[in-house]
């Protein structure tokens, strides 16, 4: 490896690692705050919190790796520009491409590593995270009973429910509403005047009294057809336990699938179901899955896009290189992830195609990077060492 390449990488790696540690810690800290309420109410060991953080780490790293790549490039090359090392390199005949290629090669390697994380570690981490969190949520149903609040502890199992208030004398839950089988394509809505949570053989049941059940039924002539059933007493399993019972991590969600599994899921299940059942619900599931599929490619590729725009921007910085580079990096990161969020929303709603919506941030930032590259090349050609100095005399 040439001396210049070693020297360039030596300047880029420390800010990259420091940025990776900082960004990852900030995102994990947000996750810790979000889980604190759950752990305090459940009264369980903090080791489960540590386990959840380990499982969520791959989902955090796939986002922070591109961010850290950009900041590392801006800070490292910004120091070159601030200390006039770029001028010294030009004086010794070092061309722009000799700085660009090592950075691009390293960015491609980082992108490949991020892609591996996205396709291998992320699905397994999400599977384990959702399984453990579901097992924790099942423990002690008393904490689930929050009046006037939609309770989503069992949402991944297809159930959400709420009640308005608790009767002061009987303790029964009043005006109960339950949304059941919400992921099946044939959801069921149940209302009851009152209900109570009871245990039978270690399992929790929501016993409903004086209510109605609304269930969609297949009808080729009317897509909104449903059946109404009245009942005096009914019960729904809440799948809650008094102790944490570890279950197998097996959730069929796009974010918990590898690229191969997700492609099969889209082509062999969702597309066929959406064609056979002209349902907005199935269309939304298909769009969501396709957005997640293209995201698995677009986010790792952002490392390369950030290198294209980071190299010329890092070399342009002249004063206060590190702080200015860090500020520019944070600004670009904010723009990128705002565009990513915009793409997710438009892709899932069908306004843009899933492929275009997920690649839109890379396209916009990449075009900006190419523009800055041409600008820097143009400037470098004007002052390149070895060319005759400009002469205004006739």
Most confident among 38-47, 150-159, 234-243, 355-364 (mean pLDDT):
355-364
Residue found by looking up tokens 């007493």 in the block: 233
Determine the Cα–Cα distance for residues 44 and 46; give it in Å rounded to an integer. Answer: 6
Closest CA to 356 of 282, 284, 265, 295: 295
| Phi, psi of 239, rounded to the nearest 5 degrees | 50, 45
pLDDT tens by residue, 140-154: 544 456 778 887 767
Strands 188-200 and 173-180: antiparallel
* 327 pLDDT higher than 60: yes
pLDDT at 139: 60
The first and second tokens of residue 324, run together, are 């200015």
In percent, the amount of the chain with pLDDT more than 90 equals 23
- What mean pLDDT, rounded, does the chain reach? 79
User: Long-range contact list for 196-203, CB < 8 A, 24+ apart?
Assistant: 196/171, 196/172, 197/141, 197/145, 197/173, 197/238, 199/242, 202/241, 202/242, 203/237, 203/239, 203/240, 203/241
pLDDT at 301: 95
Query: Which has more confidence, 186 or 355?
Result: 355
Rounding to the nearest 10 degrees, give the CA dihedral for residues 32, 38, 44, 49. Answer: -20
Residues in the chain: 394
Residue found by looking up tokens 């490292």 in the block: 76
Determine the Cα–Cα distance for residues 126 and 233; give it in Å rounded to an integer. Answer: 38
In which band, very low, low, confident or very high, does the pLDDT at 111 lie, cut at 50, 70 and 90?
A: very high
Angle between the N-to-C axes of helices 280-316 and 321-349, in degrees from 0 to 180, rounded to the nearest 10: 160
The first and second tokens of residue 315, run together, are 């070399």
In terms of pTM, does the model score above 0.75?
no
pLDDT at 92: 63
- The radius of gyration of the chain's CA atoms, rounded to the nearest angstrom, is 28
* 382 pLDDT higher than 50: no
């Amino acid at each position: 490896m040439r001396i210049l390449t070693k020297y360039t990488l030596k300047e880029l790696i420390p800010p990259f690692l420091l940025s990776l540690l900082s960004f990852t810690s900030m995102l994990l800290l947000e996750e810790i705050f979000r889980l604190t309420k759950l752990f305090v109410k459940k009264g369980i060991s903090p080791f489960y919190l540590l386990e959840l953080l380990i499982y969520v780490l791959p989902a955090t790293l796939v986002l922070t790796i591109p961010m850290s790549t950009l900041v590392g490039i801006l800070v490292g090359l910004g120091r070159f520009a601030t200390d006039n090392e770029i001028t010294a390199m030009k004086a010794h005949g070092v061309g722009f491409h000799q700085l660009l290629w090592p950075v691009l090669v390293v960015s491609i390697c980082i992108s490949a590593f991020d892609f591996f994380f996205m396709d291998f570690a992320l699905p397994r981490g999400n599977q384990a995270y959702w399984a453990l969190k579901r097992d924790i949520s099942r423990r002690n149903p008393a904490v689930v009973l929050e009046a006037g609040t939609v309770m989503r502890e069992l949402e991944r199992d297809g159930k959400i429910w709420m009640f308005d208030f608790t009767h002061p004398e009987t303790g029964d839950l009043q005006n109960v509403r339950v949304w059941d089988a919400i992921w099946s394509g044939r959801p069921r809505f149940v209302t009851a005047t009152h209900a109570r949570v009871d245990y039978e053989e270690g399992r929790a049941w929501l016993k409903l009294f004086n209510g109605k059940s609304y269930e969609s039924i297949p009808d080729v002539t009317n897509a909104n057809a449903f059946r109404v059933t009245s009942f005096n007493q009914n019960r729904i399993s809440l799948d809650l336990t008094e102790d944490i019972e570890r279950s197998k991590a097996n959730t069929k969600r796009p974010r918990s699938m590898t690229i191969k599994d997700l492609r099969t899921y889209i082509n062999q299940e969702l597309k066929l179901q959406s064609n056979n059942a002209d349902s907005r619900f199935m269309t939304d599931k298909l769009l969501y899955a396709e957005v997640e599929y293209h995201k698995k490619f677009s986010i790792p590729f952002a490392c390369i896009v950030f290198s294209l725009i980071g190299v010329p921007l890092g070399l342009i910085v002249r004063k206060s290189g590190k702080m200015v580079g860090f500020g520019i990096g944070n600004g670009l990161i904010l723009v990128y992830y705002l565009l990513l969020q915009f793409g997710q929303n438009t892709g899932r709603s069908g306004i843009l195609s899933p492929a275009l919506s997920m690649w839109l941030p890379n396209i916009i930032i990449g075009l900006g990077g190419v523009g800055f590259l041409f600008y820097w090349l143009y400037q470098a050609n004007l002052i390149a060492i070895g060319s005759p100095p400009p002469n205004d005399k006739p």
